[in-house]
Amino acid sequence: MKSAALVSALAAAVHAGPTTTLKSKPRATELEPITVTGNAFFKGTERFYVRGIDYQPGGASANIDPLADTKVCLQDIEKFKTLGVNTIRVYSTDNSKNHDECMNALADAGIYVVLDANNPLYSINREDPHGSYNTPYLQSVFATIDAFAKYSNTMAFFSGNEVIHDFKNTTLTAKYVKATDRDMRRYIKARNYRKILVGYSAADVTTNVMQTAAYFNCGEEHERSDFFAFNDYSWCTSDFITSGWNKKVEAFSDYGLPLFLSEYGCHQNPRNFGELESLMHSNMTSVYSGGLMYEYSYEPNKFGIVEIEGGQANGGADQTGKRKELDEFEAFANALKKWPAPTGDGGYTKTTKVSACPTEDSHWAIGSATLPDIPEGALKFFDEGAGKGPGLKGDGSQWAIDQASTSEGGQSSDGSGSGGSGTSGGSGASTSSSAAMRGTVPAMEKAPFVVSGIVLLCTLVGAVAL
């Protein structure tokens, strides 16, 4: 059953922190890999809570890789240490570049990294999920895995970020994101990498978050995610009950995977980050495993806590400027100190639980558990590796012709219309008109995608897997 990941005796765990390294032979600190048991993360025998921050200097549109440039990352790692975070999320990385220095400096600071395996040019396209699930796309995703699998502090990969939104037709993308999620786990295994966790990061959309969570934890074992994450902007310096978080804990109480917030925050008022008090409290720890505060750098969307000099110039191309801590920097550091990770196991559920697949209804368009087969052209990567990554400025995959196999019936069985017609015909089908139809999904510029309001919630139907 789903990796009742035994507390790994493998990783010869050397703890983070200053090490006495021989000057002649600098070696990276090895962090103990994060594993999953039941609905919780573990670091060795200890429960692990994500106490982190989202790191995207320049914002989504700048689309730079902060871990490929020591002039960027080293300044920020000092700030992360001052804050006391144990995890960062990085939204876009260049799989053609080397990340040794930044990743090792993060490991020295005891910091894990959760990485988005997609980027604006290489991602599932909401307008054409079938056509954009193709070989060049998977090559880029797998190359990102190659680039980061060697680091002990790579905690997890996101197989998608906010692809599913509130329109019912966007839920059709879920099967392609889940297919990617499945393919990533298969690739990690086939390439003999350590087991690195893979899961989806969902938008703050109350109408379908429960179905989405169930969907990524249903079906056959190799198709199910290792965890589920979602973004939540409902707190806004309120409290556990006013924010509705108590209802969400209830709704997710039977959910079988580790759950954490891939973004939390609010920019309406000065924040005290009281979210941490609840996230680290027994009110939540049996169901949630912490979260990532959105976000580190101050961008036009006003969420950040550190201002980067010159960071807004030229579309955010240069993030090497001086750092200035804003007021909320200290507030967040204080919150992390005031509300440490609890001791003990937090009341987690030790058994593996599989969800029932959601059925089609007024918010959810997928009625079957069948996932598309991997595009045939991508099969060779399992044996040969992905090769040189295309980086962040390649041709992009969203117009690529080598699309997913149509063996699962394309989109027609899905009912609700989508703009994908003209892409399922195989060779030659991709003309400039289908290319136009596959216009890029614009990089999500937060304003976080939030459709809040009344809190959910349908009950999660869970089935215990024996």
CB of 415 to ligand NAG, least distance (A): 12
Q: Which of 144, 161, 418, 434 binds ligand NAG (CB under 6 A)?
A: 418
Closer residue to ligand NAG in complex, CB, 127/295? 127
Cα–Cα distance, 101 to 183 (Å, whole number): 29
Residue from 277, 325, 345, 408 in contact with ligand NAG (CB under 6 A)? 277
Q: What does each C-alpha distance from 461 to 19, 164, 255 come to in angstroms?
A: 48, 21, 8
| Closest C-alpha to 279, from 329, 212, 338, 228 | 338
Tell me the per-residue interface mask from 39 to 78 with ligand NAG, x by CB under 6 A, - otherwise: ----------------------------------------
Based on the shown chain and the rule CB under 6 A, indicate whether residue 127 belongs to the binding site for ligand NAG: yes
Using CB under 6 A, which of the segments 215-223, 277-285, 342-350, 406-414 binds ligand NAG? 277-285
Buried-exposed string 332-365: b where 16+ CB fall within 10 A, e elsewhere: bbebbeebebeeebbebbeebbbbebbebeebbb
Tell the smallest beta-carbon distance from residue 416 to ligand NAG (Å): 8
Does residue 231 bind ligand NAG (CB under 6 A)?
A: no
Does 283 participate in binding ligand NAG (rule CB under 6 A)?
Answer: yes
Least distance from C-beta 247 to ligand NAG, angstroms?
10
246 contacts ligand NAG (rule: CB under 6 A): yes
Q: What is the rounded distance in angstroms from the CA atom of residue 292 to the CA atom of residue 388?
A: 31
State yes or no: residue 278 binds ligand NAG (CB under 6 A): yes
CB atoms within 10 A of CB 140: 25
Active-site residue, from 32, 162, 295, 328:
162
Q: Rounded to whole angstroms, how far apart are CA atoms 191 and 142?
A: 10
Question: Which of 139-147, 155-163, 216-224, 236-244 is the region at the interface with ligand NAG (rule: CB under 6 A)?
Answer: 236-244
Which tokens hold the place of 447? Answer: 């304003």
Residue in 61, 96, 169, 286 binding ligand NAG, rule: CB under 6 A: 169
- If the CB atoms of residues 61 and 246 are measured against ligand NAG, the closer one turns out to be 246
Q: Which residues of 27-55 are buried (b: 16+ CB within 10 A; e: fewer)?
A: ebbbbbbbbbbbbbbbbeeebbbbbbbbb
Reply yes or no on whether 30 is catalytic: no
Considering beta carbons, is residue 186 or 281 the nearer one to ligand NAG? Answer: 281
Is 275 near ligand NAG (CB under 6 A)?
A: no
**Distances from the Cα of 145 to the Cα of 117, 160, 387, 388, 452, angstroms:** 7, 14, 11, 12, 33
Please say whether the beta carbons of 175 and 212 come within 8 A.
no
Which residue has 């995608």 as its token pair? 449
- Smallest gap from Cβ 274 to ligand NAG, in A, equals 8
Is 263 tagged catalytic? yes
Q: Tell me the closest approach of the beta carbon of residue 134 to ligand NAG, in angstroms.
A: 17
Contacts of 46 (CB under 8 A, 6+ apart): none
The Cα–Cα gap between 83 and 16 comes to 16
Site residues for ligand NAG per CB under 6 A: 127, 167, 169, 239-241, 246, 277-278, 281, 283, 417-419
Q: Active-site residues: which are they? A: 162, 263
